[in-house]
Chains A and B, each alone.
Chain A
């Protein structure tokens, strides 16, 4: 989404964000303003609208059956309500909610010391999703997610956020700059550093590199 077009929202696409072609006024903006003031009806309406996208984002970071999924989703909604008071409308409310959920989930991942439990959760997730895709592609996708999420855990937060918004939520450099409130060149620099780190990690991990051979 371009800077200055903050009061518009568009149809959600595959990544959960909006398709800029079909922009319409951000109907959630007024609701969000009222919700920030504590209006119960507005809060309920907002949660019903942004709840499913928040769940989707949290699920992308933590996995479909992560034991902390419920807690992190609830934390995300509380964090969103807390943050609405300072929301300036630089992006759409939905994009803002996606970002809050993403940061909350990444924070939960960083705090999660029980990595083994996470891997179990991902394994369960793989069995439950994408029944149409072939097992090999599912395995490959799982490994790519593990590599990316492991990288996000280790990168500095600003770089990790830019990389996650780009890869996980499918935001362009312009979208990220508008959402984060940073210059495009800064975002671009963070993405470049993140991709270089990703390449280094792939090179270090021979097993993953072998699995991804041909794709890169």
Chain B
């Protein structure tokens, strides 16, 4: 048997404080001869030195709880990148996109000085500042107000696609002021992205600020009605409304989530919320039907016992 074939079992037992006195003696004897056990002992002990627990671990634990909460809210879409880094990456991506867009526009302007293209009508429509969002204008007006500056990152991407489709074309090169305006739009697009709106809303909810949470949830649902975040928010917002005793609006949120086609990750939660909302509204027959649906479709969900209990009470 070579040195590295020793199983080091006594060393591992020593590490777990499981050695009897006779085993301890046996280990000491064995270690004099076995370099593998000495190697294992020394390197294992080196890692056991990292034992002190810093006082800020409670903050780390809280951050882990927050990450887990986000996982519950968005079980499929949560990336493993921490939020701080993710936000930076999104901002960098959008900034890079704006640079590419501006460069493309500048390139087209240079080319237009030498060539005349036949599709001037289409070009004019795109370049016209009055055409606004409908034509996917390259740069927003300098005097853009907060309301008109609600372009999303997707819309910016769409603008690039529109420019590509219209090429060769002529576009007015953005002035310095326009570039600033464009940057503002991009920054607002990042701030107002569906994922960040949802995150801010859930943060406000956790911080016991229901009015701010409601405002953000409504903003998300109005601005991005077809986004995944908006759909998820229907369950989260519905639960919040239910906690506040607003069973009617809560029921609408849950029903909206459930009525959408396709498989939904939070259908069990939505049914659970719908059942509780109906209970608060005193609509017993519909509540019974909801609990039965939940039991049929999600027999292993954690809400089964609640559903069964309610059904037995309603009989």
Contacts and interface: CB of A to CB of B under 8 A. Distances in A.
B301 interface: yes
A74 B16 contact: no
Given A55-B61, A70-B82, A74-B67, 19 more contacts: A14-B17, A14-B48, A15-B48, A17-B16, A37-B302, A43-B68, A47-B68, A51-B64, A52-B53, A54-B64, A64-B50, A74-B63, A75-B82, A128-B52, A170-B44, A172-B7, A172-B8, A173-B7, A216-B42
B47 A60 contact: yes
Interface string A125-137: 1001110010000
A138 B273 CA distance: 56
A212 B300 CA distance: 56
A148 interface: yes
A38 B75 contact: yes
With a 10 A CB-CB cut-off, give which of B51, B54, B64 has the most chain A CB atoms: B64
In the A-B complex, the 6 residue pairs with the smallest Cβ-Cβ separation, listed nearest first, are: A144-B46, A141-B46, A74-B67, A71-B82, A13-B16, A195-B4
Q: How large is the interface on A (under 10, 10 to 19, 20 to 34, 35 or more residues)?
A: 35 or more
Nearest to A171: B12
Contacts of B16: 13-15, 17, 19, 170
Nearest to A14: B48
A215 B42 contact: yes
A147 to B, nearest CB: 8
B35 interface: yes
Interface in A10-40: 13-15, 17, 19-21, 34, 37-40
B68 A195 contact: no
A168 interface: yes
Nearest to A44: B65
16 contacts: A13-B17, A14-B15, A14-B51, A15-B44, A15-B48, A38-B302, A42-B302, A51-B60, A55-B64, A78-B71, A170-B12, A188-B7, A192-B4, A195-B40, A199-B4, A216-B42
A59 B50 contact: yes
Given A71-B85, A81-B71, A166-B40, A47 B15 contact: no
B18 interface: yes
A166 B7 CA distance: 11
A144 B72 contact: no
Contacts of B302: 34, 37-39, 42
A78 B80 contact: yes
Contact of B39 (A21, A42, A171, A198): A198
Contact of B43 (A74, A144, A172): A144
Contacts of A79: 80
Interface of A: 13-15, 17, 19-21, 34, 37-40, 42-44, 46-48, 51-52, 54-56, 59-60, 63-64, 69-71, 73-75, 77-79, 81-82, 125, 128-130, 133, 138, 140-142, 144-145, 147-148, 166-168, 170-173, 188, 191-192, 195-196, 198-199, 212, 215-216
Nearest to A131: B52
Contact of B69 (A40, A60, A75, A192): A40
A130 B53 CA distance: 11
A133 B80 CA distance: 37
B34 to A, nearest CB: 11
Contacts of A40: 69, 72
A28 B315 CA distance: 36
Given A167-B44, A195-B4, A196-B4, A138 B64 contact: no
Contacts of B81: 71, 75
Contacts of A195: 4, 36, 39-40
Contacts of B38: 215-216
Given A51-B61, A64-B52, A74-B64, A144 B15 contact: no
A43 B73 CA distance: 12
B43 A130 contact: no
A102 to B, nearest CB: 11
A51 B7 CA distance: 31
Nearest to A146: B46
